[in-house]
Amino acid sequence: MNRPARGLHGQAVEIIGERILRGVHAPGDSISPDRIEQELGVSKTVVREALRVLASKGLIASRQKRGTFIRPRSDWNLLDGDLLRWQGLGSPDATFLGNLGEVRAIVEPAGARLAAERRDQADLAALEDALRRMAAAGDDAHAAVEADLAFHRALLAAAHNELLTRMEVVIEAGLRVRDHLVHGSEHGSDAVPAHRAVLDAVRAREPEAAERAVHALLAQAAADLRHLTDRAARQETE
């Protein structure tokens, strides 16, 4: 997934992009480059380049007489790594999390089935390394999240399908949001056994077992997240 860009231009992209994804600037709203320039204390060149990047992501457009404005959400490149990351910042809404969960449920079991058929020794080594890191992470939420991401990237890579591998941008978005919520609490279940079951099936070249293991892993992940969100909702009402 794309990482936050550096420099003034990158910072401007981040600030404006996050505002659009959070709804601070709604579709149809006008954006004043001069006002952005003054607010952020940057040059016209920086603002112009930032808006060009956002336009390439489908977020904004410029027209004569109308100026620069936010495009309809249906025009946004929602699979762009930055857009996925911006949607996951702060407290992501249930619709976003639900959409990510549905996509993962479609992509990852199929990827695991292919991985069980096509994996090589390098793929197994990558999966085993990620699982070892996950087991060693303990209470280190950051290490646990990174190990989880590494495992799922390795699983998609083991399918040896270039187009499927590109779906890691969606998988990573979903994992980062869920994992930071779950691993940051004291109520998440141990993820290692479910991941080990996936690895064992892939190692044994058992496609159906690998697919079932991923479905079980995703069900556990969804249950952890549901438990966490339900608990947070109850605390708000108390």
Structure confidence by residue, pLDDT tens digits, 26-74 = 999 999 999 999 999 999 999 999 999 999 999 999 998 899 999 999 9
**pLDDT tens, residue by residue, 72-105:** 999 999 889 899 888 877 666 778 888 888 899 9
pTM here? Answer: 0.80
> Tens digit of pLDDT for each residue in 102-150?
899 999 999 999 999 999 999 999 999 999 999 999 888 889 889 999 9
Cα 17-83-18 angle, rounded to 5 deg: 30
Q: How far is CA 86 from CA 16, 18, 49, in A?
A: 10, 5, 19
Tokens 């910072």 label which residue?
11
pLDDT digit string, tens, across residues 189-226: 688 999 999 999 999 999 999 999 999 999 988 887 77
Nearest C-alpha neighbor of 16 from the set 3, 202, 48:
48
pLDDT, one tens digit per residue, over 169-185 is 888 887 777 666 666 55
Q: Give the list of residues 6+ apart from residue 88 with CB closer than 8 angstroms, or none.
A: 96, 173, 176, 177
Backbone angles phi, psi at 63, to 5 degrees: -135, 150
Amino acid of residue 227: H
DSSP assignment of 65-99: TTEEEEPPGGGS-TTSHHHHHHHHSSS--HHHHHH
**Eight-class DSSP state of 62:** E
| pLDDT of 1 | 46
Average pLDDT, the chain: 88
The pairing of beta strand 67-70 with beta strand 30-31: antiparallel
The predicted pLDDT at position 2 comes to 45
